C-alpha cells in the first residue's frame, strides 16, 4: 500500500516508519522542514518526503493522488492559549489536502477520553477526532493511555523523579489511576491496522494489562532500577505548585509540566474491546515496558525522544530560518586551532553535551543551566538522545542542532536558553584547522550588557573547549 505519514519527525512517527517499511509499504512522509529529514531515512527507495505546514493552508501543496492509508500523528503539548485552535486548523487543513485522493483509511492516535470532565489537551484530542471523522475516508482512532518507552515524555519524567529523589513529597494526583502501554505495543497496533476493514469507522482504547496509580508506577520503576524510594502524597497542592514541582525536578519545560499536570488529574482507564484478538497484539506489563526501555538505552538505540520535539524548546518556526548566521549587529568570539587527526576531532565535536559534557568548565555550564531554569528556561537537563549521533532538530542540552554534517565537517547550534538576544555556536574544520565561532545578536541595551558581563567567562570556557576538542589539553 501507499501510505501518507504525518508527524514524521515526532516521537511516534520516527518509530512507526521502520515498522511500515518492513511490512513492504511505500511511504510518503510529511515534514514541516525538509532540513529535519532523519538521516537514516534519506535515500530510501520506498520513502519520499514532502514539505507541508498543516497549520497554514497552501493551495501549492500537492498530496499524491494514489495514497491508500494515512497516519495522523500530529499533536501539540503547547500551553499556548490558542493550541486548541491550532490543532483543529491542522485537522481541517489535512482534510482539504487529502480531498480528491484515493485515500481509504485514516489512522489517528489520540488519548483515552472516557471521563466526563477532560483536561484541555484530552478535550482537544477528542475534538480533532470528531473533525477527522467528517472526511470522505474511513477513520480508525486509537486512544492510548500513558505511553512508556525510551525517550517518551512520561518515561523520562518518571526517570528523573525516581533517580534524583530518594524521598518524594508529591501532589495528590499521584493517586490518579492510569493504564500505561508500552511503545512497542502502540506501534504494533498502528502498523497492523493499515488497510484492515474491520477497524473502519471505529475507535478503540489501547492500554496495557494493568490499572496503576502514578505512585505505583514510580515505585515499580524504582524496583526495576534497584532503588529504594519513599513517597508521601500531600492532600493539597495546587496545579501551579505541582507544575513547578515537575519543572524544577525533571527535564520538562514549564509549559509541558503544566499540560501534564492538567491531564494527570484525570483517570485514564480504557474500555474493554476485542482489538487484541483482531490484530493479534498482546500488550506487555508496565514493568516489562520499563525493562525493555532500559535495554534500548544501554544499547544506545533510542530512535526518538520527546526532547527533540520543537515544542520542547523556543522554536515556533522552521529551523532552516536560523541556519544563516547574521553578519551585522552581532558580537563574535572566533577561535581556531590546528588539528592533525580530523576524524578524532569530529568525533569529539559530535559527542558534545549530555553525558560527555562540554570538555571544559562543566560546572560553569551547569551553573548557566541552573540560572536558565530559575528564570523559566529549559535548563541543561534535556541532555541528548544519542551519545554520538546528531542531526538537525535534535535537542542538545540548552541548544538546538540546526546543521550537522560530518562530510562537510560542520556543526551549528542555536541557543534555546533564556537570553536577551539570539546566540549561535558553530564548529567546522577547514584545511587542517578547527574553527569555533560563537555569535550573539543582542536585543537592546540588556543584550549588550549581558554580552559584556559573560565575556570573562567566555574567555576561559571557549579557549578551554577548543583546546580540548583539538586535542591540545
Mean pLDDT of the region 369-383: 76
Q: How far apart are CA 243 and CA 65, in angstroms?
A: 45
Output the DSSP codes for 384-407.
Answer: -S-SS---TT-EETTEEEEEEETT
Angle in degrees, 0-180, between the axes of helices 120-132 and 83-98, rounded to the nearest 10? 20
Would you state the pLDDT for residue 318? Answer: 66
Assign 81 a pLDDT band (cuts: 50, 70, 90).
low
Q: Is the pLDDT of residue 197 over 80?
A: yes
Angle in degrees, 0-180, between the axes of helices 362-374 and 444-469, rounded to the nearest 10? 150
Q: How far apart are CA 337 and CA 339, in angstroms?
A: 6
Would you state the pLDDT for residue 27? Answer: 94
Q: Is the pLDDT of residue 86 over 60?
A: yes
Residue 250 gets the label, from left (phi > 0), alpha (psi -120 to 50) or beta, of beta
Report which of residues 127 and 153 the model is more confident about.
Answer: 127
Look at residue 71 and give its three-state secondary structure.
strand
Q: How far apart are CA 162 and CA 48, in angstroms?
A: 41
Q: Cα(first)–Cα(last) distance of the chain, in Å?
A: 56
How many CB atoms neighbour CB 215 within 10 A? Answer: 18
Q: Is the pLDDT of residue 45 over 90?
A: no
DSSP-derived pairing of the beta strands 331-338 and 433-442: antiparallel
DSSP state of 115: S
Look at residue 435 and give its three-state secondary structure.
strand
Would you state the pLDDT for residue 179? Answer: 94
Would you state the pLDDT for residue 303? Answer: 63
- The residues pairing with 213 across neighbouring beta strands, listed in sequence order, are 177
Q: How far apart are CA 472 and CA 462, in angstroms?
A: 13
Strand order in the sheet with 421-430: 331-338, 433-442, 421-430, 410-415, 399-405, 395-396
**Backbone phi, then psi, for 435, in 5-degree steps?**
-105, 135
CB 73 within 8 A of CB 6: yes
Q: How far apart are CA 410 and CA 406, in angstroms?
A: 6
**SS3 sequence, 324-370?**
CCCCCCCEEEEEEEECCCHHHHHHHHCCCECCCECCCCHHHHHHHHH
Q: Name the pTM for this structure.
A: 0.82
pLDDT digits (tens, 9 = 90+) for 94-133: 999 999 899 999 999 998 888 777 777 788 888 999 999 9
Assign 449 a pLDDT band (cuts: 50, 70, 90).
very high
Q: How far apart are CA 176 and CA 217, in angstroms?
A: 11
Mean pLDDT of the region 388-411: 88
DSSP-derived pairing of the beta strands 399-405 and 410-415: antiparallel
Q: If you search the block for the grid coordinates 520527546, which residue do you land on?
A: 306
Would you state the pLDDT for residue 302? Answer: 59
Contacts of 392 by beta carbon, 8 Å cutoff, 6+ apart: 35, 36, 319, 401, 402, 403, 404
Assign 308 a pLDDT band (cuts: 50, 70, 90).
low
DSSP state of 413: E
Radius of gyration of the chain (CA): 23
Assign 369 a pLDDT band (cuts: 50, 70, 90).
confident
Amino acid at each position: 500500500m501507499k501510505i501518507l505519514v504525518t508527524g514524521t519527525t515526532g516521537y511516534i512517527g520516527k518509530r512507526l516508519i521502520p515498522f511500515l517499511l518492513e511490512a513492504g509499504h511505500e511511504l510518503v512522509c510529511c515534514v514541516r522542514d525538509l532540513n529535519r529529514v532523519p538521516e537514516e531515512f534519506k535515500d530510501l527507495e520506498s520513502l519520499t518526503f514532502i514539505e507541508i505546514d498543516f497549520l497554514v493552508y497552501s493551495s501549492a501543496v500537492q498530496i499524491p493522488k494514489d495514497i491508500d492509508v494515512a497516519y495522523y500523528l500530529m499533536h501539540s503539548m503547547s500551553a499556548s492559549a490558542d493550541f486548541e485552535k491550532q490543532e483543529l486548523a491542522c485537522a481541517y487543513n489535512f482534510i482539504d489536502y487529502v480531498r480528491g485522493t484515493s485515500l481509504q483509511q485514516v489512522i489517528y492516535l489520540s488519548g483515552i477520553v472516557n471521563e466526563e470532565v477532560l483536561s484541555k489537551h484530552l478535550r482537544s484530542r477528542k475534538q480533532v477526532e470528531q473533525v477527522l471523522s467528517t472526511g470522505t475516508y474511513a477513520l480508525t482512532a486509537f486512544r492510548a493511555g500513558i505511553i512508556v518507552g525510551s525517550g517518551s515524555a512520561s518515561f523520562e519524567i518518571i526517570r528523573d523523579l525516581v533517580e534524583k529523589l530518594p524521598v518524594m513529597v508529591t501532589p495528590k494526583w499521584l493517586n490518579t489511576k492510569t493504564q500505561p502501554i508500552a511503545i512497542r505495543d502502540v506501534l504494533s497496533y498502528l502498523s497492523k491496522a493499515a488497510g484492515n476493514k474491520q477497524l473502519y469507522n471505529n475507535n478503540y482504547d489501547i492500554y496495557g494489562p494493568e490499572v496503576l496509580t502514578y505512585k505505583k508506577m514510580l515505585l515499580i520503576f524504582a524496583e526495576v532500577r534497584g532503588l529504594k524510594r519513599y513517597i508521601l502524597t500531600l492532600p493539597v497542592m495546587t496545579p501551579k505548585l505541582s507544575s513547578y514541582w515537575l519543572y524544577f525536578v525533571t527535564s520538562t519545560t514549564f509549559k509541558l509540566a503544566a499540560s501534564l499536570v492538567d491531564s494527570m488529574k484525570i483517570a485514564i482507564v480504557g474500555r474493554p474491546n476485542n482489538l487484541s484478538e483482531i490484530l493479534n497484539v498482546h500488550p506487555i506489563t508496565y514493568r516489562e515496558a520499563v525493562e525493555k526501555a532500559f535495554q534500548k538505552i544501554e544499547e544506545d538505540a533510542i530512535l526518538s525522544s520527546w526532547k527533540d520535539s520543537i515544542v520542547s524548546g523556543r522554536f515556533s518556526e522552521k529551523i532552516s530560518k536560523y541556519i544563516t548566521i547574521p553578519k551585522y549587529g552581532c558580537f563574535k568570539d572566533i577561535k581556531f586551532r590546528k588539528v592533525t587527526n580530523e576524524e578524532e576531532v569530529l568525533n569529539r565535536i559530535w559527542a558534545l553535551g549530555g553525558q560527555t559534557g562540554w570538555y571544559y568548565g562543566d560546572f560553569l555550564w551547569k551553573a548557566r543551566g541552573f540560572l536558565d531554569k530559575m528564570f523559566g528556561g529549559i535548563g541543561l537537563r534535556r541532555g541528548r538522545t544519542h551519545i554520538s549521533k546528531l542531526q538537525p532538530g535534535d535537542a542538545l542540552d540548552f541548544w538546538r542542532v540546526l546543521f550537522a554534517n560530518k562530510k562537510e565537517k560542520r556543526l551549528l547550534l542555536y541557543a534555546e536558553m533564556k537570553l536577551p538576544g539570539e546566540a549561535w555556536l558553530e564548529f567546522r574544520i577547514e584545511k587542517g584547522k578547527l574553527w569555533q565561532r560563537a555569535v550573539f545578536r543582542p536585543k537592546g541595551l540588556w543584550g549588550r550588557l549581558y554580552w559584556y558581563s559573560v565575556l570573562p567567562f567566555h574567555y576561559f570556557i571557549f579557549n578551554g573547549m577548543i583546546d580540548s576538542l583539538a586535542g591540545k589539553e
